[in-house]
A and B are shown apart, each in its own frame.
Chain A
């Protein structure tokens, strides 16, 4: 088991955003959590990345309990989050952003691996010395994913990668994500576009008001009446 979460609860200002949820991701698996706005999906990912404290529960990664491991040390363990809004450093160049991706690995690793990222995203190579703030939304998302790859993640967590992107861009993006994860990286994807997410992933959890209300294979979820009615409309 790569990621095993037991009874995770998260509170913001006294409001419980996530209530005792349990889920897991196996090595090489692609898992999605779908659900409406405010269901607690982002809070879950932030807690996994260490950005917010959990009020209860246990997170195990590769068999190690990481509840108290600070956020900046989780990257080195292979747990990488591309946050909502992408987390690009707008006032740094594209290459420097990529360099930040390899921050926990070192310069040598960066030099060895950056070529592969540029192969996947040729646009980034063309514009590598420009400020990341000049990229379009879709390009920034590509940069965020490329940067995440440079941290050599075992589990890549993406928070709403399609948000704010044109439909064409979204299709292209999901193609790229599919390609990336086919190389052995496990995926935990949060997405409001349930259809895309379910087609990409092996398994799905459905969250509603802080709880997991359904857990099944992605294929079954696509035809599940609850998912059909609420998220695929």
Chain B
């Protein structure tokens, strides 16, 4: 029973990881950059949604409407933030050695965290409103409506992203740019614009994931993006970085592994380690993947650039 309960919890968590992992994998796919600031975009999205929901509610609006408006605005701000990050921090380094944008990414991550600490302070902020909602029980397994919403909305967004990447003009432009920037330009693709749009789409998904995360745990904090980002990055590597399906699969898988680990670690270690050690699993997985399958589950060995 605890097994299936943890699978449900893991799928919820995993769908949040997957949304964030998609942002990592899209940016990596298109410019071979690990955007370590991506997790902090999630944090910004979460905290903006948290604050604005509170504010709208203080203005007398109901919770659902407040949440909807706040989430919408948070997505817009994060899209803008993603665009600015690419424009200001990464574009000038396009031809620089690969270490330069990587270090810049880490610097950006710290910058965003410290800015958030200035704006929101360093304490944990509670998410307003009553998030209990209804829940459904089935043979002793409990699914809350929040969990169900997170899972369904994530699947929907992943489906839409898949359609976008494979069946639209922008998607084809993204995939051609990912394979070769100069060749894409020869086809008439404005590759700078495509890279900007990739950051914008990834940041929108990050904002949604942020809102989900802050609602799921019902607290937010300026450091919340760090661990979440690192786990989502692990998910992307697990699935095969640069691979969209891989990020989706890796996210869900990592969520389930982590939840199962948290559920059973007490039994396995005879109580020496509790579920507070659950974060260990993500990084244990990262190490195993890097040793035994460095290209990830769905990554191929010959992902050659054209």
Residues of A within 8 A of B (CB): 49-51, 70-73, 75-76, 80-81, 83, 85, 87-92, 96, 99-101, 103-104, 107, 147, 151
Q: How many inter-chain contacts with C-beta < 8 Å in the A-B complex? A: 69
Docked complex Cα distance between A225 and B306 (Å): 40
Interface status of B183 (Cβ within 8 A of chain A): yes
Interface status of B99 (Cβ within 8 A of chain A): no
Question: Given the interface contacts A87-B306, A100-B172, does A71 sit within 8 Å of B186 by beta carbon?
Answer: yes
Q: Are A103 and B188 interface neighbours, CB within 8 A?
A: yes
Within 8 A of A (CB), among B54-90: none
Q: Are B185 and A51 interface neighbours, CB within 8 A?
A: yes
Residues in chain B near residue A104, CB distance under 8 A: 187-188
Which chain B residue shows the least CB distance to A107?
Answer: B169
Task: Classify chain B: how many residues form its interface, as a range.
Answer: 10 to 19
Residues in chain A near residue B123, CB distance under 8 A: none
Q: Are B172 and A92 interface neighbours, CB within 8 A?
A: yes
A-B contacts, 18 of them at CB < 8 A, read A70-B185, A71-B182, A71-B185, A71-B186, A72-B185, A72-B188, A72-B189, A72-B191, A80-B186, A85-B306, A87-B180, A88-B306, A92-B175, A96-B172, A103-B187, A103-B189, A104-B187, A104-B188
Q: Are B176 and A100 interface neighbours, CB within 8 A?
A: yes
Residues in chain A near residue B191, CB distance under 8 A: 72
Docked complex Cα distance between A75 and B188 (Å): 6
Residues in chain B near residue A89, CB distance under 8 A: 175-176, 179-180, 183, 306
Docked complex Cα distance between A17 and B238 (Å): 45
Docked complex Cα distance between A134 and B46 (Å): 45
Interface SS of B by simple majority: helix
Q: How far is the CB of A11 from chain B (nearest CB, A)?
A: 16
Q: Are B306 and A90 interface neighbours, CB within 8 A?
A: yes
Interface status of B145 (Cβ within 8 A of chain A): no
Other than the given A71-B186, A87-B186, A90-B179, 6 more pairs (CB < 8 A) read A51-B182, A72-B185, A76-B188, A83-B183, A91-B175, A96-B172
Interface status of B158 (Cβ within 8 A of chain A): no
Docked complex Cα distance between A103 and B168 (Å): 11
B185: which of A50, A101, A151 is its contact (CB, 8 Å)? A50
Q: How far is the CB of B304 from chain A (nearest CB, A)?
A: 7
Which chain B residue shows the least CB distance to A100?
Answer: B187
Docked complex Cα distance between A147 and B184 (Å): 12
**Quick one: which of A49, A81, A91, A101 has the most chain B CB within 10 A?**
A91
Q: How far is the CB of A101 from chain B (nearest CB, A)?
A: 7
Which chain B residue shows the least CB distance to A79?
Answer: B186
Interface status of B163 (Cβ within 8 A of chain A): no
Q: Are A151 and B188 interface neighbours, CB within 8 A?
A: yes
A-contact 0/1 string along B206-221, CB 8 Å cutoff: 0000000000000000
Docked complex Cα distance between A104 and B190 (Å): 10
